[in-house]
Amino acid sequence: WAEGRKSLRMEYFYRDMRRHHKVLMDGDKPAGGDWNYDAENRAPPKEGLTPPPPTAHPPDAITKAVINMVEKHFPTHMGSTDGFFFAVTRPAALAVLDAFIQDRLPLFGTYQDAMLSDEPWMYHS
């Protein structure tokens, strides 16, 4: 895909994949008439905007053991396991999905590209 291109942008890759796989296409044109609706996703965060906190799942015994193994065997790994709170079971992942759909998805599109220095998640899942 990248060979011969002057710039590598996700947008161009996305378009090519849609064409190739015939996803969201009406013939050779994008379904709905536009390739994306990014212009609608660029609202700046309003003053006082407080997105909901991410759904946290404290590590259980197995997760704590895996965190310890990662720290032991990969001491110079990129990133940090400090504060790990991600869902690692199906029920926990479904709870995160439900919370995203209810609490974040309604404003995800509006603020999808917005950033606040103290809000790493905003309305993302």
Summarize pLDDT for 55-90 with one digit per residue, the tens.
Answer: 999 999 999 999 999 999 999 999 999 999 999 999
**Both tokens of residue 109?**
């599109």
What pLDDT was estimated at residue 41?
A: 79
What pLDDT was estimated at residue 58?
A: 93
Cα gap 19→40, rounded to integer Å: 23
Task: Provide the phi-psi class of 77: left if phi over 0, else alpha when psi is between -120 and 50, else beta.
Answer: beta
Cα gap 102→120, rounded to integer Å: 19
pTM over the 0.75 mark: no
What pLDDT was estimated at residue 83?
A: 94
Task: Provide the phi-psi class of 83: left if phi over 0, else alpha when psi is between -120 and 50, else beta.
Answer: left
Cα gap 11→34, rounded to integer Å: 12
Assess whether pLDDT exceeds 90 at residue 98: yes
% helix / strand / coil in the chain, to the nearest 5? 45, 5, 50
